[in-house]
Chains A and B, each alone.
Chain A
Amino acid sequence: GAGVSQSPSNKVTEKGKDVELRCDPISGHTALYWYRQSLGQGLEFLIYFQGNSAPDKSGLPSDRFSAERTGGSVSTLTIQRTQQEDSAVYLCASSLFDTAGPSSYNEQFFGPGTRLTVL
């Protein structure tokens, strides 16, 4: 597709359940980012992938959060044993940024987000 897509667009789950959020980046984009937008915290960065590798996972809010990327394309963000404070909009972005390249240019393009509600 032309842009970043995310699924599902909305997810309502019960406290304690696991959820999986999916991101399809723009074709050819090597870098992929996950962010979270909540009323209290604003927009916060969670994790970055260059290809299939995430060099730093310290931005993930807790050990209940994990993320992976396969084939240098699709990424999934998994939240185990969801809590009410996990309720937020989860946004994914991608870019052409390549650490091996000569330029620092890194325009990120965002998907529409997944709105997660934990009851």
Chain B
Amino acid sequence: KQEVTQIPAALSVPEGENLVLNCSFTDSAIYNLQWFRQDPGKGLTSLLLIQSSQREQTSGRLNASLDKSSGRSTLYIAASQPGDSATYLCAPERGGGADGLTFGKGTHLIIQP
């Protein structure tokens, strides 16, 4: 059974800093890994999806990397802003659809103005 760990569980930093959020997973037989953000009381917003054949994906100030063999992914946030405050979740997927996504408990991020 896939288990996902996210470190740190919480992070509070002043705006402008560059951040790294870490995700590790126990079963490396994955097809995709998706990063989400969740704002309080809201659903999940997809940030990036990395396919197993890729090593990284970039979207604006966000960069996600994937090392499938070691079961790790990182989300890099450049020049953080108060609007980046949210919970960030990583979710690997085995493929085939039927297993759904497996989520970590997330990293609760606060960017201080």
Enumerate chain A interface residues (CB-CB to B < 8 A): 4, 31, 33, 35, 42-46, 48, 50, 55-56, 59, 91, 93, 97, 99, 104-113
10 sample A-B contacts, Cβ–Cβ < 8 Å, listed by A number: A35-B100, A46-B100, A48-B98, A50-B97, A91-B44, A97-B97, A104-B95, A105-B51, A106-B31, A110-B43
Complex formed: what's the CA distance from A45 to B98 in Å? 10
Nearest B residue to A92, CB-CB: B43
Q: Which listed residue, B43, B52, B100, B106, touches A59 by the CB 8 Å rule? A: B100
Q: Which of A48, A50, A109, A113 contacts B100 (CB 8 A)?
A: A48
Given the interface pairs A104-B32, A106-B31, the reply to whether A91 lies near B43 with Cβ below 8 Å is yes
Partner of B97, one of A48, A59, A111: A48
The residues of B that contact A31 with a CB separation of less than 8 Å are 97
Contact of B103 with A106 in the complex, beta carbons under 8 Å: no
CB-CB under 8 A from B102, the residues of chain A are 45
**Once the chains bind, are B93 and A56 in contact (CB under 8 Å)?**
no
Q: Are B96 and A99 in contact (CB under 8 A)?
A: yes
Name the distance in Å between B89's Cβ and chain A's nearest Cβ: 7
Contact check, A45 vs B46: say whether CB atoms are below 8 A apart.
Answer: no
Which A residues are CB-close (under 8 A) to B21?
none
Alpha-carbon distance A93/B49, docked complex (angstroms): 15
Query: B31 to chain A: which residues have CB within 8 Å?
Result: 104, 106
Q: Which residues on B sit within 8 Å (CB–CB) of A111?
A: 43
A106 touches B43 (CB 8 A): no
| Chain A minimum-CB-distance residue to B105 | A42
Besides the known contacts A43-B89, A109-B46, 10 further A-B residue pairs in the complex with CB atoms under 8 A apart? A43-B103, A45-B99, A48-B97, A48-B100, A59-B100, A107-B46, A108-B46, A110-B44, A110-B45, A112-B43
